[in-house]
Amino acid sequence: MQLHTDIPLKNYTTMRLGGNARFMTDIHSVDELASLCQHAAEHQLPIFVLGGGSNTIVRDAGFAGIVARNRIMGYDIIDDQPGASTIRVGAGENWDETVKRTVDAGLSGIEALSAIPGTVGASPVQNIGAYGQEVADTIMSVDAYDMHQSQLVTLDNEACGFAYRHSIFRGDQAGRYCIVSVTFQLSKSSPQPPFYAAVETYFAEHNVTLFTPAAVREAVTDIRKNKLPDPAELPNAGSFFKNAIIDDWLYRELIEQYPDMPSYDMPEHRHKIPTGWLIEQTGLRGQTLHGMRIHDKNALVLINESASSYEDLKNAREAIKDAVRDKFRIDIEQEPLEL
């Protein structure tokens, strides 16, 4: 394990902003991780675990500790039954390549999460979801190194505290665990309609009648390609805002005022409102604020066109949040983590 010093984090995150890491290293095994945690504790240095950098925003001050890039690999079938397979995947594995591997094996459960950038270890952190699927629905357990207790632990699905774009790993236990591997249980059955609206439309337009994991993956990949900018070409962090979850009383008031407002029913008499739609209604879609352009095809995406600092991003974010709050009385939340 080698510690590199004063590393520009903008080179390792897809938004291409932010300051330097005091130290950076790559972790390839649990033993390396344990040694790193011991070193950090002895020198009173915080650790931040970085995957692909597609869901991390770095402040201008950078990080005064150790940024550890998770490169722990592995893909193992640990149980194979007639109707399902259980696989354990290293946290450093590429997420989309892992989805492709499961789809090629005829497994279903994460095919709608195709073309999402990042690593497998990052998937439980924010409970990634898209086109009707959430990764939490397939996760059996997460193996992680507990940096408080200096030992490897296994957290079952319930212990991960999954909720909409949330888990304990970005909540009250943020900074405690370094995910080593994720165990998924995937079905051998074909996905069944009804599908997410955009996928249904794609199938109808392309005359797809055989519903397989591969068909869903192809549809989602095509949809995302046309809707989301490639971060390698246009710096962005994917969906920058979470969809809004509002109480029933506010929903009823807003639907009277905006009868065409799209919504999805949620537990406990709450409703999910697409934040992209909310931003569009403010008239900001396609506009550039403080060097950040609101994508004209998907208002959830902020593209770093000419921003030179985190402060630029912050100002653009606050302007968008203020506009939505002023029009709808809804506080929208940032999705990427901040370092």
Instruction: Return d(Cα 67, Cα 48) in angstroms, integer.
Output: 5
pLDDT for 180 beyond 80: yes
- Closest by CA position to 178, among listed 152, 158, 159: 152
61 and 35 fall within a common domain = yes
82 and 160 fall within a common domain = yes
- Assigned token pair, 206: 């392309």
63 and 87 fall within a common domain = no
Average pLDDT on 29-44 reads 94
pLDDT for 66 beyond 80: yes
Domain that holds residue 274: 236-338
User: 274: which residues sit within 8 A by CB, 6+ positions away?
Assistant: 243, 244, 262
Do residues 24 and 45 touch, judged by C-beta distance below 8 A? Answer: no
Domain boundary among 47, 70, 93: 70
248 within some domain? yes
Q: pLDDT tens for residues 119-155?
A: 999 999 999 999 999 999 999 999 999 999 999 999 9
Average pLDDT on 160-185 reads 94
pLDDT for 77 beyond 90: yes
Do residues 242 and 275 touch, judged by C-beta distance below 8 A? Answer: yes
The CATH number assigned to the domain holding 55 equals 3.30.43.10
Average pLDDT on 16-29 reads 96
User: 268: which residues sit within 8 A by CB, 6+ positions away?
Assistant: none
Q: In Å, how far from its chain's centre is CA 135? A: 10
**3-state SS class at 34:** helix
Angle, to 10 degrees, between the axis of helix 95-104 and the axis of helix 213-227? 150
266 and 308 fall within a common domain = yes
- Assigned token pair, 306: 């000419």
- Assigned token pair, 25: 């290293």
Q: pLDDT tens for residues 205-226?
A: 999 999 999 999 999 999 999 8
Average pLDDT on 80-109 reads 97
- Assigned token pair, 59: 């402040």
Residues that are catalytic: 165, 239, 335
Q: Structure pTM?
A: 0.88
Instruction: Return d(Cα 33, Cα 113) in angstroms, integer.
Output: 28
Question: How many domains is the chain built from?
Answer: 3
**3-state SS class at 31:** helix
Q: Helix, strand, coil proportions of the chain in percent (round to 5)?
A: 30, 30, 40
pLDDT bucket at 232, cuts 50 / 70 / 90 = confident
34 within some domain? yes
52 and 85 fall within a common domain = no
- Closest by CA position to 112, among listed 179, 198, 38: 198
95 and 53 fall within a common domain = no
The CATH number assigned to the domain holding 250 equals 3.90.78.10
The CATH number assigned to the domain holding 166 equals 3.30.465.10
pLDDT for 1 beyond 90: no
323 within some domain? yes
Q: pLDDT value at position 122?
A: 94
306 within some domain? yes
9 within some domain? yes
143 and 57 fall within a common domain = no
In whole angstroms, how far apart are CA 43 and each of 36, 40, 65, 148, 204? 11, 5, 10, 15, 59
62 and 90 fall within a common domain = no
pLDDT bucket at 2, cuts 50 / 70 / 90 = confident
Q: What angle do CA 138, 191, 224 make, to 5 degrees?
A: 80
User: 111: which residues sit within 8 A by CB, 6+ positions away?
Assistant: 99, 102, 103, 133, 191, 213, 214, 216, 217, 220
- Assigned token pair, 227: 């809707």
178 within some domain? yes
